[in-house]
Amino acid sequence: MHFKRGIYKQLEDWQSKPTRKPLLIMGARQIGKTTLLKAFGKDSYEDFLYINLEKQKEVHDFFTGNKNPKEILKKLNLIHGDNIEADKTLIILDEIQECRDALISLKYFQEEAPEIHIIGAGSLLGLSIGNNRSFPVGKVEFLDMYPLTFSEFLYGADEKLYKTYHHFLESEMIEPIPDAFYNPLQDLFKEYILIGGMPEVAAHYIEHRDISKALIIQDQILRAYELDFVKHADKTTSTKIQQIWNSLPSQLSKENKKFIYKAIRSGARAREYEAAVQWLIQAGLLYKVSHVQKPNIPLKAYEDITAFKMYMFETGLLIRLAGLDPTTFINGDQFFTQFKGSIAENFVCQALKKTYGRAPYYWTSDGKAEIDYIIEQKGKVIPIEVKSGTETKAKSLSVYKNKYEPSLRIRVSNMNLKITDDILNIPLFYAEHIDRFINKALA
């Protein structure tokens, strides 16, 4: 099964740069980094050398105490069985966080051998970088990778619908999509949300249409993350990480989704769990959505660090972790209405994080209204409300408008694409392209 990953174009841009630095691909485990990089090496270079530093421990010695890229290359040539040539050979160092010296060596490749094309990748790089004083700051480039988007899933599932999806996305007009196209897109989107964006799960489901097997693969992925908690954190911290991870469905099932430490266990306090929360954020597994006291630019200046929500990086895994019945989502009108709208909110958070490169904020007004997400674009603060069904009422957006008079308000829901006055309704399946629809609406 082949998925057309949007990040591929960014890799090609990096390759063509006249002054490129070594590249680090950041992203959670099993989102397709290895598959992507091997395909890139095969398609875009004459040759590539792939090394997995988690499995090939013997290669660590090549980098230990060795700061000379030429000496490192001599040893890599022996493994490769051929000379590594500038501009022709790509070096891929997978799971690079497992070898601290390999990570540090990127600094010397940038300074002394910038002509060598080298990419490091790893599932827990955020942790390694945050805890490594020797990390080569300013000597590498970063590229974040995320699970499959709906658009990428669609390419693998139904290429004809994929073209339809992009036809209406690229239209200059904001107008409803005819039901003949909208309904099939909506049906496939329901399947995508349940199956999720982990490539192995999605590929198996598309090929076999076997939900039970797809759920087993999801369970294996969740188990792999739990093993990472134990492997990469001390015993006390790993226990707290597991507790936070397991509490996420119950945190999101509340009407008020503000993260509460006492929901982890009775009597829990922030200072006990802050390090574990930060571990999950740095690992790329959870997204922290902070409260803003005022929706002014820059939003960061008005952040309330004491109040925040936490969402999972991949909605399909959240559904599985919560133990929800998959038939609920495929059949009938129950889609998204269970779990107090958290599935839709989690999905939109996931989409916004990928689109804007950082988690959004949220806003409340004295208990009278709450805007799910607040973002900045084109020098404007834009409120986004997520609706899990086809309800048209938008009380919180009305309260927000009366208070701040925004030029545009966004509702992301199961309703069709349309704009009425200053409210732009975007279907959930277009959430990953919110920025493009905002540009159209503000043009």
DSSP 44-89: HSSEEEEEETTT-GGGGGGTTT---HHHHHHHHHHHHTS---TTTE
Cβ–Cβ under 8 Å, residues 287 and 349: yes
What's the mean pLDDT in 395-406?
A: 93
pLDDT of residue 128: 74
Q: How far is CA 41 from the centre of its chain?
A: 23
CA dist 134 → 62, 104, 114, 195, 390 (Å): 18, 7, 20, 40, 52
Lowest mean pLDDT among 136-145, 350-359, 372-381: 136-145
Query: Averaged over 141-152, what is the pLDDT?
Result: 96
| Res 251: pLDDT | 93
Range 147-168 average pLDDT? 97
- Measuring CA to CA, how many Å separate 147 from each of 24, 142, 356, 397? 17, 17, 15, 30
pLDDT (mean) for 42-70: 94
Task: Pull the structure tokens for residue 183.
Answer: 């309904």
What is the chain's mean pLDDT, rounded?
92
**What mean pLDDT comes out for the span 364-378?**
91
Give every strand in the sheet of 423-427, ordered side by side: 303-312, 286-292, 361-365, 369-377, 380-386, 409-413, 423-427, 418-420
Is the pLDDT reported for residue 339 higher than 70? no
Task: Specify whether the CB–CB gap between 354 and 149 falls below 8 A.
Answer: yes
- Give the C-alpha separation, 203 to 214, whole Å: 9
* Structure confidence at residue 11 (pLDDT): 98
| Mean pLDDT value of segment 3-21 | 95
Longest CA span, the chain: 69
Percent of the chain with pLDDT over 70: 95
Give the mean model confidence (pLDDT) for residues 310-336. 81
Residue type, 30: Q
Amino acid at 241: I
| pLDDT score recorded for residue 56 | 96
- Helix-strand-coil percent breakdown of the chain, rounded to 5? 50, 15, 30
Place 222 in a pLDDT band, splitting at 50, 70 and 90: very high
Residue 425: closest CA among 396, 391, 395, 401: 391
Higher-confidence residue: 324 or 274? 274
How large is the average pLDDT for residues 278-305? 95
Domains of the chain: 7-144 (3.40.50.300), 153-197+230-442 (no CATH)
For residues 12 and 392, what is the distance between their CA atoms, to the nearest angstrom? 43
Looking at the predicted structure, is the pLDDT value of residue 133 above 90?
no
Closest to 258 measured CA to CA, from 291, 301, 299: 291
- List CB contacts of 180: < 8 A, sequence separation 6 or more: none
In this predicted structure, the answer to whether residue 240 has a pLDDT above a threshold of 70 is yes
Q: Which of 359-368, 389-398, 418-427 has the lowest mean pLDDT?
A: 389-398
CB environment 236-251: b (16+ within 10 A), e (fewer): ebbebbbebbebbbeb
Number of residues assigned to the chain: 443
Contacts (Cβ under 8 Å, ≥6 apart) of 138: none
Q: Give residue 337's pLDDT.
A: 62
The predicted pLDDT at position 363 comes to 96
Question: What's the CA angle centered on 241, arms 235 and 242, to 5 degrees?
Answer: 90
Alpha carbons 33 and 122: distance in angstroms, whole number: 8
| pLDDT of 341 | 84
What average pLDDT does the segment 141-167 reach? 96
Q: How far apart are CA 318 and CA 425, in angstroms?
A: 25
The secondary element (H helix, E strand) that includes residue 2 is none
What pLDDT is recorded for position 25? 96
Q: What is the DSSP letter of 336?
A: T
Distance (Å, rounded) from C-alpha 221 to C-alpha 313?
13
User: Residues 87-127: pLDDT tens digits?
Assistant: 999 999 999 999 999 999 999 999 999 999 999 999 888 88
Kindly report the backbone phi and psi dihedral angles of residue 225, in degrees, each rounded to the nearest multiple of 5, phi listed first: -65, -40
Name the band, by pLDDT with cuts 50, 70 and 90, for residue 76. very high
The dihedral over CA atoms of 265, 270, 276, 280, expressed in degrees to the nearest 10, equals: 100
CA 313 vs. chain centroid, Å, equals 5
- Separation in Å, CA 399 to CA 282, 365, 394: 35, 8, 9
For residue 125, give the nearest of 262, 44, 22 by alpha carbon: 22
Whether the predicted pLDDT of 333 surpasses 70: no
DSSP result, 157-183: H-HHHHHHHHHHHS-SS--PPPHHHHH
Query: Rounded to two decimals, what is the model's pTM?
Result: 0.94
- Separation between Cα atoms, residue 99 and residue 60, nearest integer Å: 6
- Give the residue carrying structure tokens 């699970």: 147
CA distance 290 to 359: 8
